[in-house]
Amino acid sequence: MDQEKQDIITHESAEVQKASGSEWLYRALSIETGGIERITDDDRHHNTTRFWNAATFWFSANMAVATLNIGALGGSYGLGFWDCFIVIFLVNLIGDLLPAWTATFGLSGLRMTTFSRYSFGHRGNLLVVIFSMISTTGWNAINAISGASVLSALSDGKFPTWAGVIVICTLVYIICVLGIHWIHRLDTFLWIPFLVVWCVAAGTGASHFTTAMPNGNDNTSTSDKAAAVLTYMASIFSFSISWINCAADYNVRMPAETPRWKIFSATYVGIFVPTVLVQTLGAALYTGTITNAAWKAAYEDSSIGGLLGMALSPAGGFGKFLMVLAGLSAVPNNIPNNYSFALHAQNFTPRAAKIPRIIWITFGFVVSLIIGCCAAVYFKDTLQTFLSVIGYWTIIHVTVVLEEHVIFRRGWKGYNLEAWNDPKELPFGWAAIGAFAGGVVGAVLGMKVAWYVGPVAALIGKSGANIGQALTLGISGVLFVGLRGVERWSGGC
């Protein structure tokens, strides 16, 4: 009996040592082990991040070839360079305020998808989870394709786009497995080499840039021009607000006493500056298709990768090296998508929350890989359609959260942050569900994508204009205020 007890003690001691050794390894490598549980004020005394990380993180995420690609869309819609620049500047000036504002929610210690429970309710938040998972997966694939197209153009097609997607998604996966500490460490510096790429490309390609209208399109009717501008605005705005669903996730380890204005300002600068610079370069690169037939052929063959290759060709071997860096810029661009996918997924059900973060990151990685390799064949139409559809959903999300925060909670004092996981202390979500349904109606009426033009959108210009975002905002905003008032009046939280 004594020997049996001794064996049990020895076995338990070995298990403790094993666990301690594993914990030591995670701690030594600063690998993140937690999930969606709230990061308390005490927790943030360890492994903290600083407010400037909110700027460098977004500098790295937006100093990317996908941002370049969005800027080039304006030319494909028939807009000249100055038209594109005005849209890029004004839309980002206003649109970037929204993700900067939601970034401050991270100081609550809760991730954005979790915090949305206070406005979407316990059941209604399933809409947030599902669409956030779809959007992050889709952006993961789209951004990987943008980077892969550059690598493919560099190799004259010998390195296929699908192979580039695999390389980019794999690198993103490794970094996301390590977690938030490594993400902030790397993103402090990752944006610098990419900035060098865009500066050199602007210099070596400048002689081919022009302010002329594509295809001599100076006599375009006013309605058609307005339609093109509205559609381009929708694309730029969708890109800006795409970060709303995850912006708070990267600030949960900021010191609790960090002023919200610092997080807001750092995030705004981190998104606005690189986005405007790189999108403007994308618009300028497209104008090379007007002045040079070789540039036009390169764009038709390899999309934005072809244009970048033409711009950097005067730099010779150094230009090819910069092309590799440009392709790899999709890595920090995709980190928010793969990392936050796991946090979205853990909010799905209580059981999902118990599944380790690494499992969900792996699942998101595999799905993005499959979608990215398939979507590359129809990239242009895929990009336009995805940007539009995700833009509609994100508008509903931020509208509901904003109105709940300002009208019904009346600021931060209206939240019981300890009740984030208690269904009895959260609204059911009927108001948010109703607002979502109304927003979908607005999107259907005003959307313009490759395969569908809504009845209201069709009224502007010959081919229609994308005004679904405005209709989505208006309808969902009005419905939520009314329905949420009824929900609270009837005894809801």
Q: Which residue has the tokens 């490309």?
A: 201
Tens of each residue's pLDDT in the chain, 493 residues: 444 444 434 444 443 344 444 565 556 566 777 788 888 887 776 666 777 889 999 999 999 999 999 999 999 888 999 999 999 999 999 999 999 999 999 999 999 999 999 999 888 899 999 999 988 888 888 888 889 889 988 888 788 888 899 999 999 999 999 888 889 889 999 999 999 999 999 999 999 999 888 766 555 667 778 888 988 998 899 888 989 989 999 998 888 888 999 999 999 999 999 999 999 999 999 999 998 999 999 998 888 888 999 999 999 899 999 999 999 999 999 999 899 999 999 998 889 889 988 899 999 999 988 888 887 766 556 655 665 577 788 999 999 999 999 999 988 988 998 889 888 889 888 999 999 999 999 989 988 877 788 898 888 878 788 888 889 999 999 999 999 999 888 776 7
DSSP state of 158: S
265's CB contacts (< 8 A; 6+ apart) are 100
The CA-atom distances, in angstroms, between 444 and each of 47, 265, 314, 398 are 46, 35, 46, 19
What is the model's pLDDT at position 392? 85
Beta pairing partners, 448 = 453
Q: What are phi and psi of 121, to 5 degrees?
A: 85, 170
In a domain, 489, yes or no: no
The helix/strand/coil state of 173 is helix
Which tokens go with 486?
């009824």
Which CATH number does the domain housing residue 127 bear?
Answer: 1.10.4160.10
293's CB contacts (< 8 A; 6+ apart) are none
- The answer to whether residues 76 and 286 touch, using CB atoms and an 8 Å cutoff, is yes
In a domain, 8, yes or no: no
First to last CA, the chain: 58
pTM, 2 dp: 0.88
Q: What is the domain range of residue 332?
A: 34-377
Q: Rounded CA gap, 14 and 8, in Å?
A: 10
Nearest in space to 304 (alpha carbons), one of 334, 282, 325: 282
Q: What are phi and psi of 449, to 5 degrees?
A: -130, 180
In a domain, 177, yes or no: yes
What is the model's pLDDT at position 385? 65
Q: Rounded CA gap, 162 and 142, in Å?
A: 12
- The answer to whether residues 278 and 62 touch, using CB atoms and an 8 Å cutoff, is yes
Which tokens go with 63?
């100093």
231's CB contacts (< 8 A; 6+ apart) are 77, 448, 465, 466
User: What's the alpha-carbon Rg for the chain, to the nearest Å?
Assistant: 24
Neighbour tally for 354: CB within 10 Å: 9
DSSP state of 347: T
- The answer to whether residues 49 and 260 touch, using CB atoms and an 8 Å cutoff, is no
Q: Rounded CA gap, 125 and 16, in Å?
A: 39
Q: What are phi and psi of 428, to 5 degrees?
A: -70, -45
In a domain, 190, yes or no: yes
Beta pairing partners, 449 = 452
Q: Rounded CA gap, 365 and 418, in Å?
A: 32
In a domain, 51, yes or no: yes
Q: Read out DSSP for 11-68?
A: HHHHHHHHHHHHHHHHHHHT-----SS---TTGGGSS---TTHHHHHHHHHHSSHHHH
Nearest in space to 139 (alpha carbons), one of 36, 52, 249, 244: 244
In a domain, 6, yes or no: no
In a domain, 308, yes or no: yes
Domain count, the chain: 1
What is the model's pLDDT at position 489? 84
Q: Which residue has the tokens 């981190």?
A: 270
Is residue 49 left, alpha or beta, with left meaning phi > 0 and alpha meaning psi from -120 to 50?
beta
In a domain, 162, yes or no: yes
- The sign one gets for the Cα dihedral 311, 315, 320, 326 is negative
Q: Rounded CA gap, 388 and 402, in Å?
A: 21
